[in-house]
């Protein structure tokens, strides 16, 4: 039973390690955030956010995000659907 749990945990870690591959390829810039997530800025200037666990986060226009180095970045767009698609691309037959 413990072995099954360990195998499942390793599979989850491996999957989440590569889950954002498509998003990284599409992004012009990826900025690490203070909360452990990442802000993706795409070629068209639009933004999307990934949580520290690899899920899409809803952004509110005008919200201010703090980078890991202490800078403040105002949110200008919310690409939730785009981020969700890119973060899950290549999984479940996508």
Q: Residue 11: in which H helix or E strand, if any?
A: helix 2-18
- The count of domains in the chain is 1
The answer to whether residue 10 is domain-embedded is: no
- Token pair recorded at residue 81: 């659907």
pTM beyond 0.85: the answer is no
Query: What confidence category does residue 86 fall into, taking pLDDT thresholds of 50, 70 and 90?
Result: very high
- Token pair recorded at residue 45: 């200037």
pLDDT at 17 over 70: no
Task: Collect all residues with Cβ–Cβ distance below 8 Å to 37 and sequence separation of at least 6.
Answer: 49, 50, 51, 52, 57
The answer to whether residue 12 is domain-embedded is: no
The answer to whether residue 6 is domain-embedded is: no
Tell me the CATH number at 44.
2.40.10.300
Query: What confidence category does residue 47 fall into, taking pLDDT thresholds of 50, 70 and 90?
Result: very high
Q: Please tell me which residue, 12 or 82, carries the higher pLDDT value.
A: 82
Q: Residue 21: in which H helix or E strand, if any?
A: helix 21-26
Find the mean pLDDT for residues 31-38. 97
- Give the residue among 33, 29, 30, 26 at the shortest CA–CA distance from 82: 26
Looking at residue 21, its pLDDT comes to 82
Looking at residue 38, its pLDDT comes to 97
């Amino acid at each position: 039973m413990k072995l099954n749990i360990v195998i499942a945990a390793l599979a989850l870690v491996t999957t989440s390690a590569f889950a954002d591959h498509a998003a990284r390829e599409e992004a012009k810039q990826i900025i690490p955030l203070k909360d452990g997530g990442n802000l993706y800025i795409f070629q068209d200037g639009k933004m999307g956010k990934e949580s520290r666990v690899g899920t899409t986060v809803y952004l509110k226009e005008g919200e201010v995000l703090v980078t890991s180095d202490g800078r403040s970045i105002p949110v200008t767009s919310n690409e939730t659907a785009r981020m969700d698609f890119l973060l899950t691309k290549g999984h479940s037959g996508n």
